[in-house]
Amino acid sequence: MISTLMWVCILTLVIHSVETLSYAIRLSGVRAGKLAVALSITGVVVLVSRTANLIQAPLTAKLIDQAKGSESFPLETYFRYILGASSLGTLVAIALFPTFVFLFARVIAHLEIEGSIPKLISSVTVDKIRHAKHHLRKPRLSMLRSLRYYGIPKRLLVLNAVVTAIYTVGVLSSLYAAHLVPAYSMTASQSSGLINGIATIMMTVFVDPQLALITDKAIANAEARSKLGRIFGLLMISRFAGTLLAQLFFLPGAYWVSLVVQWL
């Protein structure tokens, strides 16, 4: 039981770390003038997140099975630990961000030489892995002090936090709803779209276009390009705030799903 929870937390940490570090790939692409190449690498990196999610979801569902017939099983507490792992994963990504900006810049350069992802992977040697330590960058307090709004709309930061919160609780709330309404457990466990659909609409309509505009301005303007790293820093902090906000959204999301599946 504890080992299952531990693995779910580790996988959740990996998922949120990888998704947050996608900002580092975008920044590396803008600085190198190779945004299209960077976005293709983003797809490969996000694949790691989705693979981890494929393992995490059934393990989390296993906790629901273990809670059946046991009134003392601390299921809600366990789920909040998982939400806490998402916050920790985002913090890890923020700490690793400077390092990964440099590392992904090297990956983009090597991809241009090799011409494909399989060739790029096959070209990795032990010496290259050892050389990666030269790109390590320690996070500094001055990075936080240098963060400013730089013309980024405050509503974008708020929306990014809200969307992150909704995505974070989508699967967990639907699984907890299966625990709340055992008669509809199968339907509830497969109803994360009732929550994630809202986040997808908000992301597509409000967040992604704004982020695209900010990135395009950075490509066309050297001054905007110098500020892009700090803008991404603000967006990562808003993602972290979203994972904390998810603690508040968790139970309302679960009750929302349970009500909808009973109504259907």
Give backbone dihedrals phi and psi of 34, rounded to 5 degrees, phi first.
-130, 55
For the ranges 48-52, 201-205, 217-221, 224-228, the maximum mean pLDDT occurs at 201-205
Check whether 133 has a pLDDT greater than 60. Answer: no
Confidence of residue 129 (pLDDT cuts 50, 70, 90): low
pLDDT, position 13: 95
DSSP string, 179-229: HH-GGGHHHHHT-THHHHHHHHHHIIIIIHHHHHHHHHHHHH-HHHHHHHH
Classify burial at 117, counting beta carbons within 10 Å of its beta carbon; exposed 0-12, middle 13-18, buried 19 or more.
middle
Rounded distance between C-alpha atoms, residue 98 and residue 158, angstroms? 24
Confidence of residue 150 (pLDDT cuts 50, 70, 90): low
pLDDT, position 34: 84
Rounded distance between C-alpha atoms, residue 264 and residue 254, angstroms? 16
Query: What is the share, in percent, of the chain residues with pLDDT greater than 90?
Result: 34
pLDDT, position 36: 82
Rounded distance between C-alpha atoms, residue 189 and residue 199, angstroms? 18
Confidence of residue 176 (pLDDT cuts 50, 70, 90): very high
Q: What is the mean pLDDT of residues 163-187?
A: 91
Q: What is the mean pLDDT of residues 55-76?
A: 84
Confidence of residue 46 (pLDDT cuts 50, 70, 90): confident
Instruction: Answer positive or negative: Cα dihedral of 151, 155, 158, 161.
Output: negative
Joined together, the tokens standing for residue 115 give 């011409």
Q: What is the mean pLDDT of residues 217-236?
A: 82
Give backbone dihedrals phi and psi of 78, rounded to 5 degrees, phi first.
-60, -40
Query: What are the tens digits of pLDDT across the range 16-29?
Result: 999 999 999 999 98
Residue 32: how many CB atoms within 10 A of its CB? 16
Confidence of residue 144 (pLDDT cuts 50, 70, 90): very low
Q: What is the mean pLDDT of residues 166-174?
A: 93
Rounded distance between C-alpha atoms, residue 180 and residue 202, angstroms? 28
Put residue 225 in one of left, alpha, beta given phi > 0 → left and psi -120 to 50 → alpha: alpha
Q: What is the mean pLDDT of residues 124-152?
A: 56
251 vs 197, higher pLDDT: 251
- Spell out the residues 6+ positions from residue 238 whose beta carbon is closer than 8 angstroms to its own: 157, 158, 160, 161, 164
pLDDT, position 56: 85
Joined together, the tokens standing for residue 210 give 């704004």
DSSP run (H or E) holding 118: helix 117-122
Check whether 222 has a pLDDT greater than 80. Answer: no
Rounded distance between C-alpha atoms, residue 177 and residue 261, angstroms? 9
pLDDT, position 41: 84
pLDDT, position 146: 47
Ranking 80-94, 112-126, 197-211 by mean pLDDT, the lowest is: 112-126
Query: What are the tens digits of pLDDT across the range 189-203?
Result: 888 888 888 888 988
